[in-house]
Amino acid sequence: MSVRVAPSADVSPDAAIGDGSAVWHLAQVREGAVLGAGCVVGRGAYVGMGVRIGDNCKLQNYALVYEPALLEDGVFVGPAAVFTNDHRPRAITPEGRLKSSEDWDAVGVTCREGASIGARAVCVAPVVIGRWAMVAAGAVVIRDVPDFALVAGTPARRIRWVGRAGVPLEPAGDPRAWRCPRTGDRYLERDDMLTEVSR
């Protein structure tokens, strides 16, 4: 396999792109960014300096992933989704001087394995999106999202549990027990957290 980079893409020579990955038209991958194997960076997407992306991730068209974001393996970032990196964004200092990178401390969004971020969602750093969680299209995430949670709205709140297949889970007898209707996997809810019981 090899890396495919569209002629109009802007990939820094200081970025590392894994085997079998593709960077499409007008995308930008900045200095020090690391993309794993088998990734897809869609048209017009942006990957900031030092961002770390695992294997088999997909950044859809015009997704904006600002440093110092971390995406583990198998993360999906939908079209025009945004990962912020500044608590208090300002163009200038209190004295009126144009701010530079030395004038602020970047904070990042972390997406755990298998997480999915819907189209035009905004993740306001610093937040952690849990394993196999799903963020609905247009949601604004301002607090951590538990593993397997489906969150929606502004601000985003958990509305369901989902399994690895992305399908909403169904009750499985015990009020704390859940089951995936597609895979049959079972989960147990405790203290507003969900853990896998069987696969």
pTM: 0.95
Give the Cβ contact number of residue 58 at 10 Å. Answer: 18
Query: Which two three-digit tokens encode residue 28?
Result: 């930008």
Q: How confident is the model at residue 175 (pLDDT cuts 50, 70, 90)?
A: confident
pLDDT at residue 1 is higher than 80:
no
pLDDT tens sequence across 136-167: 999 999 999 999 999 999 999 999 999 999 99
* Cα–Cα distance, 115 to 45 (Å, whole number): 18
* Cα–Cα distance, 162 to 147 (Å, whole number): 9
CA-to-CA separations, 161 to 1, 65, 84, 101, in angstroms, rounded: 37, 26, 25, 39
* Cα–Cα distance, 140 to 98 (Å, whole number): 28
Which residue, among 87, 82, 55, 56, has the nearest Cα to 69 in the 3D structure?
82
pLDDT tens sequence across 103-124: 888 999 999 999 999 999 999 9
Complete domains list, the chain, with CATH = 4-162 (2.160.10.10), 165-199 (no CATH)
Tokens 């900045």: give the residue. Answer: 30
Question: What's residue 47's pLDDT?
Answer: 98
pLDDT tens sequence across 63-107: 999 999 999 999 999 999 999 999 888 999 999 999 988 888 899
Side-chain half-sphere exposure of 36, counting CA atoms within 13 A = 15
pLDDT tens sequence across 11-38: 999 999 999 999 999 999 999 999 999 9
pLDDT tens sequence across 33-64: 999 999 999 999 999 999 999 999 999 999 99
